Amino acid sequence: MMASRGTWGKVMQGLQRLIIHVSMSAWWYALALATALLCFTIMARIGAAFPAVAGGALPFDLQNTLAPGDVHAQLAGWAPAARRRYYAFSAVDWVFPLAAGLFQAATITFCLRQSLPRVYRWLTIRHALPLLLLPAAADWLENLFAVSAVASYPPGVPWLPVALVAAKQAKLASLALTQALMIGVVLYTAGRWAFRRRARPAAGR
């Protein structure tokens, strides 16, 4: 038990160092953003062409209202080309969550360090910044269950669609929270910066 806690602590420390490094480096920050945009573009193109070989359905990852009963029902209408395209889509979607997650986490971290230093110190002391990557972890679980469902059909494994949808809902919920947090701290930081900029000339009069 102690060994597992130590390993988990090292993982959290390593992830936090990575997030902080990206938040302090314009090059790494730009690389994370560029990678996320490139992956998004590729997945969007695959997704646009996907219905033609999948009975009109989009990839599971792009269906926010997907229900467990839809998974095998849609797989029944997939042509062989749909499987190949989905595997290509999924391969890119292993990279996208990390790149997008690092960009989002680095943005929040930068803003906290600039405008809410006490909150930033509180989080870093507790190695809590990696919690901002929860949407990426849920996305990876979604990918794992989705690929497994595709590979095992037919006949299919009954519990995989349930696990797939549960991971998707966890991803959407955690993403909504982290996105709202990012927007909030960005607006707060921008507001503080604008207020200080306007206050400087007044103080010099």
Boundaries of every domain in the chain:
2-203
Tokens matching residue 4? 């597992």
Blockwise average pLDDT, block size 10, the chain, 205 residues? 71 96 98 98 98 98 97 97 97 98 98 97 97 98 98 96 98 98 98 83 55
- The reported pLDDT for the residue numbered 201 is 62
- The reported pLDDT for the residue numbered 174 is 98
Instruction: Say how many Å lie between the first and final Cα of the chain, rounded.
Output: 63
Tokens matching residue 19? 């997030």
Q: Which residues contact 78 (CB under 8 A, 6 or more apart)?
A: 53, 54, 55, 57, 86
Q: Which residue type sits at 37?
A: L
- The reported pLDDT for the residue numbered 104 is 98
Cβ 111 vs Cβ 188: under 8 Å: yes
190 alpha carbon, distance to own chain's centre: 24
User: Cα-Cα-Cα-Cα dihedral of 87, 91, 92, 94, to 10°?
Assistant: 130
Cβ 93 vs Cβ 139: under 8 Å: yes
Q: Which residues contact 137 (CB under 8 A, 6 or more apart)?
A: none
- The reported pLDDT for the residue numbered 150 is 98
- The reported pLDDT for the residue numbered 7 is 87
- The reported pLDDT for the residue numbered 203 is 54
User: Cα-Cα-Cα-Cα dihedral of 130, 142, 176, 103, to 10°?
Assistant: 50
Q: Which residues contact 102 (CB under 8 A, 6 or more apart)?
A: 18, 19, 22, 32, 133
- The reported pLDDT for the residue numbered 197 is 79
Calpha distance 91→47 (Å, rounded): 13
